[in-house]
Chains A and B, each alone.
Chain A
């Protein structure tokens, strides 16, 4: 009986130890390949002629994500401004208001991007009339940025906080008057040895808008509470820019302060709709020239599929998008892998084969890409599709 048990145990152990399948075997085709693997093909489809357009006006003036300041940059000469609300002249300590005697102040900006290859960049802060709004023109702002209105300047060499500290007589430059309703307006321009620009956080960017901090003393018995600060966040901030005029119909234009986007329409070949598996789909856009923008501060080319094609206000497909970096100065064809979007065109109840393209940060970038449209004699928008067709292997 012991031998029987032993045999049974050996058999059971062998079976249990080896029940996992590991079957894959390397082979040489065609001998052991019963039929071809999936057939891989490549095709290019151009956007439908004259069905592409640029639409502008996706952003309200107050929606800008960044403040642009530049110094004769080809992508646009920009000035920024900010206004601070009426500030208190006292602080409340232990329930009592105490007059604050200023001894210094700081105006802080958050630098989002700059061209680090340009050295000696200075952000010059001017005092301007606080009666400024989004209708104020570049000329009106620029006219106020005179040597006489200069409050001070900040050397900018990296991203992060840029701080202008004022002490002594310089505090007079930020003193408020009743004529200005006790509000303070500042204008920003750039000084640099060569054309360049910087981007600063706007009121819409996280929690780092232009901020003014006042440092002073109060009269109080508790000496640990003598030094006090008052902080004021800008209540409005924006920028004005003189940029190249939008192109004509032969080009598609993206970006700009108001937000320009383009719509592209394609007709996928019927052969692909039937049974193709999309392996790769690449949108190829040909720049109309070297891309305008700020060196070292690439924008992102955003491509979205749409749920329904109703033109400029086509709703986007949720969660289906693609992007690629747009570098300033580049004139090579820009490619974006959009397989996840194109793949949606080949399923039941497929959305329209339409793309909306734009850039990020929209309204807050110097990037002004222009691409040839379908009306251009060459370089039309196109999608290069690599796909696989079933081969039904497994022949006997």
Chain B
């Protein structure tokens, strides 16, 4: 119990604004939506997200946790962005998630505390323009940089009715900030460069409820409903407005074929269009509701030791909520492969997933990214 409290405290301290992959499609709206998945789920394309006990998606999924465990993940991305202005390659490293969960001794309950990315708004963009200053054309270079995003800190509790039914409830604190800096440089050095900096901070709440039910020996179903309240937005402590956040509906199925093969898939619908009016009012382009479909498999080389280098494969396709040009949808398609290994009687181990993502935004905007996610799990 003491070590569990220590782990929970660690998560609470570390639950600052975390962020994940950066993208040119994370410039508008609230940024690039994050997927609250463990490395295992990422390796299966998110197909196991509703069932996986280390993912922070479905609070019911922690119901079968029998030991206190903590996990931490880091994400490395390499991407190539294409826009009408040119091509850019970039790489960055993020720490998108930390998770602690464990059973409450003597009860059919399990609790968890986690922090994951909700949206990521890390970007740095540069543009050129020509201004006529004092009657003379002067070329300018503008750079706009944003660091940060919105983090989703979740406290979850799950009730284990039996090995066939788990129900969970999560309370979400959405918090974070964007440190935004804008600089303008002039080709004529007679003009000094100028810069401005400010911080946009966010605060909101949400609740989620989920269920995992096992039907027979081979089939499991899962469902999730999540409702997020308005996100309060402040710029340097001055109220900017609120952004209505979406309701999330998700459902999935997992099928076990024999002892070695698990296949899972699901679909998620988020009513991001509810934020459209608020985002437009704050000077944005808007938002659209999104659907995401995930499917993945896990092949266990040794069913008695499921984490001994299993093979994970996955695929997903999603629509992103914040278009670059109004009316132009952004699609995201990803494939992934992953595995894991546990040591010391399963007390420590790692998970790794390698993914390739394609994003298309129309009007000449596209992106391809390679994502390497590495997670460490420990069982105190």
Which A positions have Cβ atoms within 8 angstroms of B?
3-4, 7-8, 11, 14-15, 18-29, 31-35, 37-38, 40, 42, 277-280, 337, 339, 384, 386, 388, 390-396
**Which of B144, B235, B339, B365 is close to A7, meaning CB atoms less than 8 Å apart?**
B339
- Please report the C-alpha to C-alpha distance between residue A25 and residue B350 in the assembled complex, in whole angstroms: 33
**Which of A20, A29, A32, A391 is close to B182, meaning CB atoms less than 8 Å apart?**
A391
**Minimum distance in angstroms from A14 CB to a CB of chain B:** 5
CB–CB A29/B186 < 8 A: no
Beyond A24-B88, A34-B283, A40-B131, list 9 extra A-B contacts (CB 8 Å).
Answer: A8-B350, A21-B91, A24-B143, A25-B24, A42-B133, A277-B195, A386-B133, A394-B144, A395-B284
Q: Which of B1-54 contact A (CB under 8 A)?
A: 22, 24, 27-30
Asked, given contacts A27-B24, A38-B196, A278-B192, whether A396 binds B279 with beta carbons under 8 Å apart, the answer is yes
Q: Which residues of B contact A384 (CB under 8 A)?
A: 134
**Chain B residue, CB-CB nearest to A33:** B127
**Can you give 13 A-B contacts (C-beta < 8 A)?**
A7-B339, A14-B372, A15-B76, A24-B143, A27-B27, A29-B127, A32-B85, A38-B184, A277-B194, A388-B194, A394-B146, A394-B178, A396-B283
CB–CB A396/B133 < 8 A: no
CB–CB B190/A337 < 8 A: yes
CB–CB B144/A21 < 8 A: no
- Please report the C-alpha to C-alpha distance between residue A93 and residue B283 in the assembled complex, in whole angstroms: 92
Chain B CB within 10 Å, residue with most, of A11, A15, A391 = A11
- Which of B105-113, B117-125, B262-270 forms part of the interface with chain A? B117-125
**Minimum distance in angstroms from B302 CB to a CB of chain A:** 14
**Which of B133, B235, B309 is close to A40, meaning CB atoms less than 8 Å apart?**
B133
CB–CB A26/B124 < 8 A: no
CB–CB A23/B142 < 8 A: no
CB–CB B350/A396 < 8 A: no
Asked, given contacts A38-B194, A386-B191, A396-B279, whether A23 binds B324 with beta carbons under 8 Å apart, the answer is no
Interface string of B334-358 (1 = CB under 8 A from A): 0000010100000000101000000
- Please report the C-alpha to C-alpha distance between residue A280 and residue B24 in the assembled complex, in whole angstroms: 33
**Which of A7, A18, A28, A337 is close to B127, meaning CB atoms less than 8 Å apart?**
A28
Which B positions have Cβ atoms within 8 angstroms of A?
22, 24, 27-30, 74, 76, 78, 81, 83-93, 122-127, 129, 131, 133-134, 140, 142-146, 178, 180, 182, 184, 186, 190-196, 198, 200, 235, 243, 279, 282-284, 309, 322, 324-325, 339, 341, 350, 352, 363, 365, 372, 374
Asked, given contacts A25-B124, A392-B198, A394-B146, whether A279 binds B283 with beta carbons under 8 Å apart, the answer is no
**Which of A7, A15, A42, A395 is close to B74, meaning CB atoms less than 8 Å apart?**
A15
**Chain A residue, CB-CB nearest to B180:** A394
- Please report the C-alpha to C-alpha distance between residue A38 and residue B108 in the assembled complex, in whole angstroms: 58
Q: Which residues of A contact B133 (CB under 8 A)?
A: 40, 42, 280, 386
CB–CB A27/B126 < 8 A: yes
Q: Which 8 residue pairs of A and B lie closest in terms of their CB atoms, listed nearest first?
A: A395-B283, A396-B284, A394-B180, A37-B142, A25-B88, A23-B124, A388-B194, A26-B86
CB–CB A19/B93 < 8 A: yes
CB–CB A32/B324 < 8 A: yes
- Please report the C-alpha to C-alpha distance between residue A392 and residue B282 in the assembled complex, in whole angstroms: 12
CB–CB A25/B144 < 8 A: no
**Which of A3, A22, A26, A337 is close to B126, meaning CB atoms less than 8 Å apart?**
A26
Interface of B is mostly: strand
CB–CB A33/B125 < 8 A: yes
**Which of B192, B283, B363, B365 is close to A339, meaning CB atoms less than 8 Å apart?**
B192
CB–CB A20/B91 < 8 A: yes
Q: Which residues of B contact A396 (CB under 8 A)?
A: 28-30, 243, 279, 282-284, 322
- Please report the C-alpha to C-alpha distance between residue A30 and residue B365 in the assembled complex, in whole angstroms: 13
- Please report the C-alpha to C-alpha distance between residue A42 and residue B136 in the assembled complex, in whole angstroms: 12
- Please report the C-alpha to C-alpha distance between residue A394 and residue B148 in the assembled complex, in whole angstroms: 12
**Minimum distance in angstroms from A341 CB to a CB of chain B:** 13
**Chain B residue, CB-CB nearest to A23:** B124
- Please report the C-alpha to C-alpha distance between residue A388 and residue B90 in the assembled complex, in whole angstroms: 30
CB–CB B144/A28 < 8 A: no
CB–CB B124/A24 < 8 A: yes
Q: Which residues of B contact A395 (CB under 8 A)?
A: 282-284
Q: Which residues of B contact A388 (CB under 8 A)?
A: 184, 194
**Which of A25, A278, A279, A394 is close to B186, meaning CB atoms less than 8 Å apart?**
A279
Q: Which residues of B contact A14 (CB under 8 A)?
A: 76, 372
**Which of A7, A40, A280, A391 is close to B196, meaning CB atoms less than 8 Å apart?**
A391
Q: Which residues of B contact A3 (CB under 8 A)?
A: 309
CB–CB A32/B184 < 8 A: no
CB–CB A22/B186 < 8 A: no
Q: Which residues of A contact B186 (CB under 8 A)?
A: 279
Asked, given contacts A28-B83, A37-B142, whether A15 binds B372 with beta carbons under 8 Å apart, the answer is yes
- Please report the C-alpha to C-alpha distance between residue A337 and residue B363 in the assembled complex, in whole angstroms: 44
Q: Which residues of A contact B365 (CB under 8 A)?
A: 31-32
Q: Which residues of A contact B84 (CB under 8 A)?
A: 28, 31
**Chain A residue, CB-CB nearest to B352:** A11
**Chain B residue, CB-CB nearest to A393:** B182
CB–CB A31/B284 < 8 A: no
Q: Which residues of A contact B134 (CB under 8 A)?
A: 42, 384, 386
**Minimum distance in angstroms from B282 CB to a CB of chain A:** 5
Q: Which residues of A contact B193 (CB under 8 A)?
A: 279
- Please report the C-alpha to C-alpha distance between residue A170 and residue B192 in the assembled complex, in whole angstroms: 63
- Please report the C-alpha to C-alpha distance between residue A11 and residue B340 in the assembled complex, in whole angstroms: 12
**Minimum distance in angstroms from B356 CB to a CB of chain A:** 14
- Please report the C-alpha to C-alpha distance between residue A280 and residue B190 in the assembled complex, in whole angstroms: 7
**Minimum distance in angstroms from A30 CB to a CB of chain B:** 9
Asked, given contacts A24-B125, A27-B83, A42-B133, whether A11 binds B372 with beta carbons under 8 Å apart, the answer is yes
Asked, given contacts A28-B127, A32-B24, A393-B182, whether A22 binds B91 with beta carbons under 8 Å apart, the answer is yes
Q: Which residues of B contact A4 (CB under 8 A)?
A: 309, 341
Chain B CB within 10 Å, residue with most, of A3, A29, A395 = A395
**Which of B76, B90, B235, B372 is close to A23, meaning CB atoms less than 8 Å apart?**
B90
- Please report the C-alpha to C-alpha distance between residue A40 and residue B188 in the assembled complex, in whole angstroms: 14
Q: Which residues of B contact A31 (CB under 8 A)?
A: 83-84, 324-325, 363, 365
Q: Which residues of A contact B243 (CB under 8 A)?
A: 396
- Please report the C-alpha to C-alpha distance between residue A24 and residue B88 in the assembled complex, in whole angstroms: 8
Q: Which residues of A contact B146 (CB under 8 A)?
A: 394
CB–CB B127/A21 < 8 A: no
**Chain B residue, CB-CB nearest to A396:** B284
CB–CB B324/A26 < 8 A: no
